[in-house]
Amino acid sequence: MLWVSKDESNKMPAGTHRYPFEFDIPANCPPSLNTLGAKNKYKIEVEIDRPWKLNIKKEEQFLVSNKIEIPVGKQPKKSIRFAKLFKSGRIFNEGPVSLQVFLPSLYCMPGETIDVKVHLKNDSADTINYICMDFGKECHCHLRHQHHTCDNYAWNKCPLNSSDRTYGYKYIGKKTRLEINLGPYSEKIYTIPFTIPKSLTTPSFSTGLITFGYFLQVGFKVKGSMMADTMYFTIIVGELKKIEEKSESAEQEEAPPSYKSLEL
């Protein structure tokens, strides 16, 4: 209560009144979100109780954000690698193409430009025409609360049935494309600067209901094939909260198959 009449006798005088107030938002509140079928809203509601008249109510939404907490004992790695081996050729197998992507860190800030190193080893009989890169957001929701969060978007890691969960994703910004001409049986490392969109307001987070975050999709196109071969991986976007000193091994295993790759 910000103001109460004494003995129900005095009145709030006419005019403008200000009643400063404050309350603590719990530190573990998930950030505001309204996208891909998931909503997480915060609002403040003010009500003026007027005797013998209708109460006046006003509500206002506000945004909540929070920092990304790195698990105790871990720290952002100096470099992270994602790798996948592709078979080229539409009808006949023209040989494998190895794609490796190196990022300076798994953690990025909105607006930050990172150097994405793409190592292509073309052991196929075809030329590679271009490298493409997409960025997007993705959201995995549970229709009932779980005690443990789903820390990634792999369909086979979720404890719930397919009818009790949802997944959605959306590309953000323009596709980045680098024209190349990598001949058969050759390899090269390409450095492609990529800027994480500055406009992102919701950091990566996960609760028992929602797992929200961002992904990069990197691929290449072999001459003559209909479409690019791509690899998708999750990156964590937001301000870091805590950095511990202990280190972990330098590589991350390739992510399990995504919902997208299964076209669910």
Chain contacts with Zn ion (rule: CB under 5 A):
150, 158
What's the min distance (Å) between Cβ of 159 and Zn ion? Answer: 7
Residue among 16 and 161 whose Cβ is closer to Zn ion: 161
What's the min distance (Å) between Cβ of 150 and Zn ion? Answer: 3
What's the min distance (Å) between Cβ of 176 and Zn ion? Answer: 30
Which among 101, 134, 102, 97 has a CA at the least distance from the CA of 223? 97
Residue among 212 and 220 whose Cβ is closer to Zn ion: 212
Buried b (16+ CB within 10 A) or exposed e, 105-129: bbbbbbeeebebbbebbbebebbbb
Residue among 167 and 232 whose Cβ is closer to Zn ion: 167
What's the min distance (Å) between Cβ of 137 and Zn ion? Answer: 17
Residue among 107 and 153 whose Cβ is closer to Zn ion: 153
Residue among 86 and 155 whose Cβ is closer to Zn ion: 155
What's the min distance (Å) between Cβ of 194 and Zn ion? Answer: 28
What's the min distance (Å) between Cβ of 236 and Zn ion? Answer: 17
Residue among 58 and 145 whose Cβ is closer to Zn ion: 145
3-state secondary structure the chain: CCCCCHHHCCCCCCCCCCCCCCCCCCCCCCCCEEECCEEECEEEEEEECCCCCCCEEEEEEECCCCCEECCCCCCCCCCEEEEEEEEECCCCCCEEEEEEEEECCCEECCCCEEEEEEEEEECCCCCEEEEEEEEEEEEEEECCCCCCCCCCCCHHHCCCCHHHEEEEEEECCCCEEEEEEECCCEEEEEEEEEECCCCCCCCCEECCCEEEEEEEEEEEEECCCCCCEEEEEEEEECCEEECCCCCCCCCCCCCCCCHHHHCC
Residue among 118 and 158 whose Cβ is closer to Zn ion: 158
What's the min distance (Å) between Cβ of 149 and Zn ion? Answer: 8
